[in-house]
Structure 1
């Protein structure tokens, strides 16, 4: 197994490049949200087709994350990162130049493929650069700041660019940013002469889990528009279950499985991923519903909607910076539960939004509370999900935690969008349209708060089952198993 030499500029410059890559991936998730009406008219998309501007990216991203993490472990994380950023940048430019809906949706899917290579490889490289201890805690704080801020910044930049130069520039800007990141990563991220794992690639397992995740995300996203009893939805979810069972059977027999059982026995991987799934289910929905409330109910322009995300982004970055310090002071378990409850309180506050309200009264305060809780929880759960993982598996662990967040987001958005639509439909019979929409958004925010409160309680229960050495995160205490296993 080869070791990666440190770059002459030190790990700080490499961390900046890797964080920028993660920021770009998160940015692409939300930057299209406020521009959907303009994109729809620009390339001639129907109402149902418009959702695939979002879904095509999320589908490819979520389905291929595990494969991306494993390929990074086998072929070298730096090489996979650079290839992913190059594909991501090219696809972004192609999306901006798209003259038809088919080209645009295909380009968004290619963006998702690139993102599935970037996210796990970049996180694994951060783990390589910073050994367990306070340095890793600070690095993960930066990681959490850019991850959360990327979602909020996407809404801001989407509004600014759409209003100033038109929707194609939301993709051109992402493409330009990606190529800047590519140059920075090539210059500052340490070289690897080979992959960190010499095992063979698990093609049957990869195919089974990729198709299973594709069917799952497809079914969930289709349910948002067609309902849970639609034949396509039921068939997709049934196929996902069958393929996941096939994946488990393949993994039990394969000599070098894609998702080895040892990963779940390491540190707090299982706990981190379960809680990240719950956090993701609320995270994605938040950045979907909040801009809709601002535009459709409060009447904000795309630009003002984007500017309205700045306090959330600022509190997110502050929380990510504070996360390691809070964990050192009160412990990892208390930090995670407090962060989840803080975000739950913010969402409960949002569940009281008014159809006749204002940004200052209804959105500003809860946004700050949500941003603080979201960022601290994300940093600590990311640390939990990679704690104690052998070095040759860190790419896979990074892919797994990102998959948990993406799949959780797909499930949460499908369920909450269906709930909000149902409440709005029922309320429209005796309320004005803004009031009916608000009723749906209030229901979605209220259920989101309940999910996070349950996650906070679950964290406490799961902490009692963890070994004593695993109750502190890498931000505070060295993990027990970071060296490569004996071959």
Structure 2
């Protein structure tokens, strides 16, 4: 490739004679076509990962009616994906650093696409759930690998901020547009929601084989791989997600729940002990000395935990109580998706000019405003009065917060730990979502009130206040960080 003014040629670290060059983009303008195609591939994979989390939820009533499934079985069609996604993200980030980002990204993307196609044509519930788990595992490897490809391709500063804003807004668009796509596709068939990501993922795979850069990596050796740490961390996260997902059905004080969560805690402690002693730890604990990284991860968990829990409550209210069709609900949520998509061309400039702690203040304030507006809902209120303002505020909050936590969580991290840093952020996102989904489900179930047409769900008001409380914590944390850093970017810590 001919060197252009906005590119700096670097080489791999093993054999300069054979290692193919990679390009590091150093400016935010005049990107060559190959760079844009690479970004489309990476952002497209992130879009599909986010889309799959929320899209299938809209189709659950149709899946249940067709296959004769109860609510607990239907929950696992969503939870199976989250279990694989949240449980293996940390491992996925480290493997991409050690084995090679290109190899991990492309293989995982192919697995994601094939599993999507197969899951749409089978009728065995257990097989559908298993394939959903496989897709979650694949996403757990594509996300950190894709993020680390971006951070090692685009130099820190305006170029990386622009790439990050496009990439993360695509991920946020996947989450917010998932309900829209889910509603539209469910009108055709619930199987369409399962198969849709498959062909798209395979097209991205074909393009990615041509544009994802080949970078020489050090020869893999088991001595450099923290196997015990990998088993402990993966086990702790899997058991945590499994425990909180099952708790609403079994009870938070049941023996199974207590043993599951207790074992998760023991494995987490064992993981920390191993990391302090291993020569090549899975997670270098020194990373956690960065207040920016810690704040980004806490904010990611609070942001997505509140959003996915609220989305679950509203979906049940609109479909089960108000009797909205999937298509009507899709159109109702459309404004949030449009706001997130339209922000893609602006957020890079915002990130260049405004410190992320101030952006997080604005983002959490928008989330909180949206939840509090919805908290005043009463039976018979019009869409324009009870839901539209909330949807607009949530769209603004997601458009601001999602790219901010990703940018802050990976800024200043060495190239060989970018997969780890991005894996930490996305683990926080998925674990936060799983925990709060379980909490809100338990709140709704604890009311013991049946759903009556046209009436509020039992426990819905309490659930909305719980979600609002998460945004209060996120807002307060962002304010404290802004005050303690006194206007400078916390990324410098």
Query: Once the 2 structures are TM-superposed, how far is the Cα of residue 417 of structure 1 from its aligned partner?
Result: 1.9
* Counterpart residue number, 1:49: 73
Deviations 1:341-384 (A, max 9, x none): 11110111111222222323221121011111122011111111
Between the aligned partners of 2:486 and 2:225, the Cα distance in structure 1 is 32
Deviations 1:396-439 (A, max 9, x none): 1111100011111111111122123334x36x6xx9554241x5
CA 1:419 to 1:380, structure 2 compared with 1: closer, same or farther past 3 Å?
same
Deviations 1:43-81 (A, max 9, x none): 343331111101111001101001100000001111100
* Counterpart residue number, 1:461: 480
What secondary structure sits across from 2:446 in the alignment?
helix
CA 1:469 to 1:365, structure 2 compared with 1: closer, same or farther past 3 Å?
closer
What secondary structure sits across from 2:120 in the alignment?
helix
What secondary structure sits across from 2:217 in the alignment?
coil
Deviations 1:136-157 (A, max 9, x none): 2221211222111101222122
Between the aligned partners of 2:83 and 2:406, the Cα distance in structure 1 is 22
Between the aligned partners of 2:235 and 2:166, the Cα distance in structure 1 is 33
Query: Once the 2 structures are TM-superposed, how far is the Cα of residue 30 of structure 1 from its aligned partner?
Result: 1.2
When the two structures are superposed, what TM-score results if normalisation uses the length of structure 2?
0.89
Match of 1:178 among 196, 201, 221: 201
Equivalent residues of 1:267, 1:389 under 8 A apart = no
Query: Once the 2 structures are TM-superposed, how far is the Cα of residue 328 of structure 1 from its aligned partner?
Result: 4.5
Equivalent residues of 2:116, 2:135 under 8 A apart = yes
* Counterpart residue number, 1:156: 180
Between the aligned partners of 1:404 and 1:244, the Cα distance in structure 2 is 15
CA 1:24 to 1:240, structure 2 compared with 1: closer, same or farther past 3 Å?
same
Match of 1:416 among 415, 440, 451: 440
Query: Once the 2 structures are TM-superposed, how far is the Cα of residue 275 of structure 1 from its aligned partner?
Result: 1.5
Between the aligned partners of 1:299 and 1:384, the Cα distance in structure 2 is 41
CA 1:332 to 1:253, structure 2 compared with 1: closer, same or farther past 3 Å?
same
Residue 162 (structure 2) pairs with residue 138 (structure 1)? yes
Between the aligned partners of 1:262 and 1:329, the Cα distance in structure 2 is 29
Query: Once the 2 structures are TM-superposed, how far is the Cα of residue 287 of structure 1 from its aligned partner?
Result: 2.7
* Counterpart residue number, 2:82: 58
What secondary structure sits across from 1:435 in the alignment?
coil
Q: How does 1:11-50 map to 2 (within 5 A)?
A: 11-50=35-74
Equivalent residues of 1:319, 1:373 under 8 A apart = no
Between the aligned partners of 1:31 and 1:22, the Cα distance in structure 2 is 14
Query: Once the 2 structures are TM-superposed, how far is the Cα of residue 462 of structure 1 from its aligned partner?
Result: 3.1
* Counterpart residue number, 1:354: 378
Match of 2:190 among 167, 181, 201: 167
* Counterpart residue number, 1:452: 471
Residue 455 (structure 2) pairs with residue 435 (structure 1)? yes
Residue 147 (structure 2) pairs with residue 123 (structure 1)? yes
* Counterpart residue number, 2:22: 5
Residue 314 (structure 2) pairs with residue 290 (structure 1)? yes
CA 1:432 to 1:57, structure 2 compared with 1: closer, same or farther past 3 Å?
closer
What secondary structure sits across from 1:45 in the alignment?
coil
* Counterpart residue number, 1:187: 210
Query: Once the 2 structures are TM-superposed, how far is the Cα of residue 295 of structure 1 from its aligned partner?
Result: 1.3
Most deviating of 250-259 and 444-453: 444-453
What secondary structure sits across from 1:308 in the alignment?
helix
How many residues align structurally? 468
Query: Once the 2 structures are TM-superposed, how far is the Cα of residue 248 of structure 1 from its aligned partner?
Result: 0.8
What secondary structure sits across from 1:31 in the alignment?
helix
Equivalent residues of 2:50, 2:174 under 8 A apart = yes
Deviations 1:317-342 (A, max 9, x none): 23454434444455332221111111
Q: How does 1:252-267 map to 2 (within 5 A)?
A: 252-266=276-290
Between the aligned partners of 2:268 and 2:485, the Cα distance in structure 1 is 27
Equivalent residues of 1:44, 1:100 under 8 A apart = no
Equivalent residues of 1:73, 1:196 under 8 A apart = no
Most deviating of 250-259 and 132-141: 132-141
Q: How does 1:382-421 map to 2 (within 5 A)?
A: 382-421=406-445
Between the aligned partners of 2:218 and 2:89, the Cα distance in structure 1 is 17
CA 1:344 to 1:319, structure 2 compared with 1: closer, same or farther past 3 Å?
farther
Match of 2:119 among 81, 95, 107: 95
Query: Once the 2 structures are TM-superposed, how far is the Cα of residue 468 of structure 1 from its aligned partner?
Result: 8.0
Between the aligned partners of 1:284 and 1:195, the Cα distance in structure 2 is 39
What secondary structure sits across from 1:6 in the alignment?
strand
Most deviating of 236-245 and 294-303: 294-303
Match of 1:310 among 334, 338, 355: 334
Equivalent residues of 1:268, 1:386 under 8 A apart = no
Give unmatched runs, 5+ long, in structure 1.
474-478, 481-487
When the two structures are superposed, what TM-score results if normalisation uses the length of structure 1?
0.90
CA 1:93 to 1:221, structure 2 compared with 1: closer, same or farther past 3 Å?
same
CA 1:196 to 1:308, structure 2 compared with 1: closer, same or farther past 3 Å?
farther
Between the aligned partners of 1:173 and 1:87, the Cα distance in structure 2 is 14
Give unmatched runs, 5+ long, in structure 2.
1-11, 14-19, 25-31
Equivalent residues of 1:21, 1:181 under 8 A apart = yes
